[in-house]
Amino acid sequence: MQAARGERTVGLALDMRGASEKTKGAPIEVIVPKEGVGWEMEASAIVKGTKVGDVARKIADWSATKEASELYSKTYAIVAYPGVQNTPPNYPPNAEAGMIKNDLAWMADNRERVLAEWSKRYEAKAAPKN
């Protein structure tokens, strides 16, 4: 993170990374813009026709338990299981409240169009790859 090293005045990063870098002494503030922040979802699925369906079902069922969310919360501050949370030092207290309302079905239906527009607008501005 160039901002964490003091090389840039602003940076975009995952919330947990920003909080971790600040805790290590980075000269940054982790903020949630008043307009809100996007978010993404980790998911589990079983591939149709798998030969190990019983094992896959056990893993998928376990992934939705409190125990699994307690493990997930070591890496993510906000998990879906009610009552499970991890608030690391320097994590923005308003992060969950600042999450935008995502329309995941719309996003899936418009994926190709959105990716093409993103590439058109921003790909040329990305840092050169080494």
Q: What domain range is 108 assigned to? A: 15-125
pLDDT over threshold 90, residue 2:
no
**pLDDT tens-digit series, residues 52-105:** 999 999 999 999 999 999 999 998 999 989 999 888 999 999 999 999 999 989
92 in any annotated domain: yes
* Predicted TM-score (pTM) of this structure: 0.70
pLDDT over threshold 90, residue 1:
no
5 in any annotated domain: no
Number of H helices, E strands in the chain: 5, 0
**pLDDT tens-digit series, residues 25-54:** 999 999 999 999 988 888 889 999 999 999
DSSP string, 71-129: HHTTT-SB-SSTT-B---TT--TTTTTTB----HHHHHHTHHHHHHHHHHHHGGGSPPP
3 in any annotated domain: no
What is the SS3 assignment for 11? coil
Give the chain's mean pLDDT: 91
96 in any annotated domain: yes
Domain total for the chain?
A: 1
Residue 44 amino acid letter: S
106 in any annotated domain: yes
